[in-house]
Structure 1
Amino acid sequence: MEWKQLERLADIYEAHPDVNRFFSASHEEIQSGLTTDVYFVKTRDVLESLGKLDAHVVAEIFARKSGIYAGLPEVLRLLEGKGVKIYSLEEGEPFEGKEVLMRIEGPYSAFGMYETVILGMLASSTGWATAARECVDAAGGKPVLCFGARHVHPAVAPVMERAAVVAGGCVAASCILGAKLAGIQPKGTIPHAAILIAGDTVKLALAYDEALPEGESRTILVDTFKDEAEEALRVAEALGDRLDGIRLDTPSERGGVTPDLVREVRWRLDRAGFGHVKIVVSGGLRPDTIRSLAEAGADAFGVGSYIAHATPRDMTMDIKVVDGIPVAKRGRLPGKLENPRLKLFS
Structure 2
Amino acid sequence: MDELERLQDVTAWRPEPGRRFFSASHEEIAAGLTTDVYFIKTRETLRAEGVAEAHVVAEIFPREDGVFAGLPEVEALLRGRGVKLWALPEGSNFAAREVVARIEGPYDRFGLYETPILGFLASSSGWATAARRARLAAGGKPVFCFGARHVHPAVAPVMERAALVGGAQGAACILAAKLAGQEPVGTVPHALFLILGDTVQGARAYHRVMPPEEPRTILVDTYKDEAEESLRVAEALGDALAGVRLDTPGERGGVTPDLVRELRARLDQAGHRNVTVFVSGGLTPERLSALAEAGADAFGVGSYISSAAPIDMTMDLKEVAGKPRTKRGRIPGRTPNPRLVEVL
Classify the TM-score, shorter chain: over 0.9
Task: Report the secondary structure of 1:267's partner residue.
Answer: helix
Name 1:102's counterpart in structure 2. 101
TM-score between the two structures when normalised by the length of structure 2: 0.99
Shift of 1:183: 1.3
State how far apart, in whole Å, the 2-side matches of 1:329 and 1:148 are.
39
Name 2:331's counterpart in structure 1. 333
Name 1:289's counterpart in structure 2. 287
State how far apart, in whole Å, the 2-side matches of 1:102 and 1:275 are.
48
State how far apart, in whole Å, the 2-side matches of 1:6 and 1:220 are.
52
State how far apart, in whole Å, the 2-side matches of 1:39 and 1:264 are.
60
Alignment of 1:17-28 (within 5 A): 17-18=15-16, 20=18, 21-28=20-27
State how far apart, in whole Å, the 2-side matches of 1:58 and 1:230 are.
64
State how far apart, in whole Å, the 2-side matches of 1:101 and 1:185 are.
30
1:221 pairs with 2:222: no
Name 1:256's counterpart in structure 2. 254
Name 1:44's counterpart in structure 2. 43
State how far apart, in whole Å, the 2-side matches of 1:328 and 1:257 are.
53
TM-score between the two structures when normalised by the length of structure 1: 0.98
Distance 1:278 1:85, change over 3 A: same
Name 1:74's counterpart in structure 2. 73
Task: Report the secondary structure of 1:316's partner residue.
Answer: strand
State how far apart, in whole Å, the 1-side matches of 2:40 and 2:280 are.
45
Amino acid in structure 2 at the alignment position of 1:118: I
Name 1:14's counterpart in structure 2. 12
Q: Which runs of 4+ in 1 moved over 2 A?
A: none
State how far apart, in whole Å, the 1-side matches of 2:264 and 2:42 are.
63
Structure 1 residues 145-184: Cα deviation after superposition (integer angstroms, max 9, x where no partner): 000000000000000101111x211110000000111111
State how far apart, in whole Å, the 2-side matches of 1:198 and 1:265 are.
24
Structure 1 residues 109-128: Cα deviation after superposition (integer angstroms, max 9, x where no partner): 10000000000000000000
Amino acid in structure 1 at the alignment position of 2:264: R
State how far apart, in whole Å, the 1-side matches of 2:17 and 2:197 are.
43
Task: Report the secondary structure of 2:166's partner residue.
Answer: coil
State how far apart, in whole Å, the 2-side matches of 1:187 and 1:88 are.
31
Name 2:56's counterpart in structure 1. 57
State how far apart, in whole Å, the 2-side matches of 1:191 and 1:339 are.
47
State how far apart, in whole Å, the 2-side matches of 1:323 and 1:182 are.
40
State how far apart, in whole Å, the 1-side matches of 2:197 and 2:17 are.
43
Name stretches of at least 5 consecutive residues in structure 2 with no aligned partner.
Answer: none
Name 1:194's counterpart in structure 2. 192
Name 2:277's counterpart in structure 1. 279
Task: Report the secondary structure of 1:247's partner residue.
Answer: strand
Say what the alpha-carbon RMSD is for the aligned residues.
0.7
Shift of 1:299: 0.1
State how far apart, in whole Å, the 2-side matches of 1:17 and 1:4 are.
14
Amino acid in structure 2 at the alignment position of 1:329: K
1:317 pairs with 2:297: no
Name stretches of at least 5 consecutive residues in structure 1 with no aligned partner.
Answer: none
Shift of 1:19: 5.5
Task: Report the secondary structure of 1:244's partner residue.
Answer: strand
State how far apart, in whole Å, the 2-side matches of 1:19 and 1:207 are.
46
State how far apart, in whole Å, the 1-side matches of 2:198 and 2:42 are.
63
Alignment of 1:75-154 (within 5 A): 75-154=74-153
State how far apart, in whole Å, the 1-side matches of 2:139 and 2:107 are.
45
Name 1:237's counterpart in structure 2. 235
Name 1:301's counterpart in structure 2. 299
State how far apart, in whole Å, the 1-side matches of 2:221 and 2:182 are.
29
Distance 1:19 1:67, change over 3 A: farther
Identity of paired residues, percent?
Answer: 66
